[in-house]
Copies of this chain bind each other. A is one copy, B any other.
Amino acid sequence: MVAAAVRTIQTDGIAALTLRGVGASLGVSRTALYRHFADKRALLDAVAAEGFRTLKASLDDAWTAASPGPRRMDAMGLAYVRFALEHPSHYRVMFSGDGAGAVKDDRATQAFQVLVDAIAAQQKAGHMRRDDPHQLALYIWSVVHGVAMLALDGRLPPTVDAMDLAALANERLRTGIKA
């Protein structure tokens, strides 16, 4: 069900996500979805939860794979933007604003925690200034989220590659918060 929803969002955009459509693509009545989800929001929350789960995994992998050193966090920053570019439908739903469901927030917090932990590690290793890790994490999150959203909303000039901007952003970001 969630998979079917993601599929339609991917091909036709989030606005085209309709319970009737999801039902039809599953060969089932529209109202049948109400046996599994309270309403449309609940379906979207499930999509968002799945998104935050795979985002967390991506960040974890990037951090683990990166070799230690002052540039280690760059890998996570790039992985974040890459996730948004490769899963635009998930990403859009994850930050669709409105209200924040409980599940959604839970998963989001876990993904955020990966960032906070990485910051603490870099500080301990003497690679990053010892500001409050939570505040620093919010700042870093803002940077990569900003790059991701501008790219997804088609706000970057056609000549600019989103991942190039992400690389530049990570470079400047690191310079600004180094120890």
Question: Which A residues contact B (CB, under 8 angstroms)?
Answer: 13, 15, 92, 95-100, 108, 134-135, 138-139, 141-147, 149-150, 152-157, 160, 165, 168-169, 172-177
Contacts and interface: CB of A to CB of B under 8 A. Distances in A.
Contacts of A139: 165, 168-169, 172
20 contacts: A13-B98, A15-B98, A92-B97, A95-B155, A96-B153, A99-B154, A108-B155, A135-B165, A135-B168, A138-B150, A138-B157, A138-B160, A139-B168, A142-B147, A145-B149, A146-B147, A172-B173, A172-B176, A173-B176, A176-B177
Contact of A152 (B97, B168, B175, B177): B97
Contacts of A147: 142, 146
Contacts of A134: 157
Copies of this chain, whole number = 2
B154 A142 contact: no
Contacts of A142: 143, 146-147, 150, 165, 169
Nearest to A149: B149
A98 B169 CA distance: 25
Nearest to A151: B142
Contacts of A169: 139, 142-143
Contacts of A150: 138, 141-142, 145
A154 B100 contact: yes
Contacts of A100: 154-155
Contact of A97 (B99, B135, B153): B153
A31 to B, nearest CB: 22
Nearest to A15: B98
A69 B134 CA distance: 30
